[in-house]
Structure 1
Amino acid sequence: MPAIPVPRFQYNDPDLKAPAPGRELIFAVGLVESIPGVGPATGGQHFGVPLSIGPNNTRLRRLHDNVEVTLPNDSVTVWAAPFQVAGHAVGEYALSNRPGWHWLRWTVADHVSYDNQQATAAIGPDPSENPLVIIPCAATKADRPAAARDLYIGSFHRMCYRAASALTSDDNIRILSAKHGLLRLNDQVDPYELRMGDPGTVTVEQLIRQAREQEILDHRNVVILAGRDYTAMARHLWPSAATPLQGSRSIGEHRQRLAGIAREPHVSLRAA
């Protein structure tokens, strides 16, 4: 029987710089564990060395008995203790809430999706593919339940929608809601009061799950028409997306760029 491996990975960066997620990080850490509730019949969790990570499953060798098991990627997480210990050493007890560390809440399936996004981003967008356009919700809403396209009635949101409509079809437009995440235009929504960043707003992990369910997570041609906070959230999913409003110095400049996209969509995107 081969020797039982001993955890050796350490993370000692006092500035808590977040390493990039993905398979490479998981193999560098060298240990994974199953999520609570997924474990041996005798109880506890599977905890072991990752041997291979495929599109759907992870093969690992358990530490306590050297038995190899295969688990679905969405039932396995990377061993997070070294990073959490480093955070505690400098007084950070909520490391996963810091910029760049959201992947601490990911399963292996999320890391695989991240790698897939990076690979498609390296290839570049497919010019023949209709863009997926992300626009923000709005603080001003109708006073009764409605389809998402009708619920948000703020003027900036409506300008974003007009620009998005010039770029793509309605099927390829998503409204990024602070409460509900990625909404299709015909999704029925009740009025609510919540702004991005408030307690209870949608998380990156929830957005990733929604995008995967809607089969848009690996879309290679993505345009984000939104302000800073909404753009930052969407870029967790699509890091190489076009962001033609980025760099605008005022809401007035945002509106000018949106009006330009609505008039001459492809010219305005190239100039952005």
Structure 2
Amino acid sequence: MNLDRDPETNRRIQTFAIVSCGSKKADAESAAKDLYTSTHFQLKRRWAELYCDNWLILSAKHGLVDPVHRLEPYDTSVRDLNGDDLEAWVNDVKQNLWYRTNSYEGVPSGNEMAWDELADDFKPNFEIVLLAGTAYVDPLEEFLEEEFPVPVYCPLEGLRIGEQNQWLKTWSEAHPSLEDVTKETAVAIDYAHDDTGDADVFYVRHETGNIMAIPTLESREPRVLNETPEEGVLNSPATAMRDHRCWTVPASEVPAVDGAEWESEPTLADFAGGAT
């Protein structure tokens, strides 16, 4: 996600979003991602799907939920929980986060004790973006700030609901789009094939000069290369592909795609201004 990092670090670090649920729900059992029907939730969902490697839903009733897990409609908010119920909810979320953290790091134990044996200079290989209101964040704040060894970013912190929606909408609309990219508006980078239809990598340059690389025109999975000059040599991301041969193309030969309205993908610093 953070494309200002070097490629190796970018491959190593996974960005994980946690999206709080909403009060407005569908009338029947649905996948969790479709159960919550408010505009605010759907904007958070869209942002998480665009900018993160994975995401979960933070439910007041069910804790951390996979987006495809099917749920019946319910009427519970974190504000309804107090005393033992709130403590049980917090502990369930904490345990789930420890379990998932250990899974990412390859630590066998599903609790915080497994981290005691790690080196002092250990750095986790993923980070969390928390898209949730204060009612959901406050009960977890002490754990996230003092115990949890993973960077946590809260880009919506301090914003009113209308400002949050505008922020989410603005960044979602700025995400790279491939709708207007065709074989006529892209340059194929491939050392083994003369036919662009068989190429492994395509480059496209927007009129701003920013470069977008896509593995194939059918995959619809863009990678934006930040701060790439319009002129000069652009290194292919296929560097490590077969025989470890690196093929390049002059950036000036990458055509502009005027119809694709997108900007360079932002970094976590743009989203949050710091970690908790």
Q: TM-score range by the shorter chain?
A: 0.3 to 0.5
- TM-score, normalised relative to structure 1: 0.47
- TM-score, normalised relative to structure 2: 0.47
With CA pairs under 8 Å and 6+ residues apart, which has the higher RCO, 1 or 2? 2
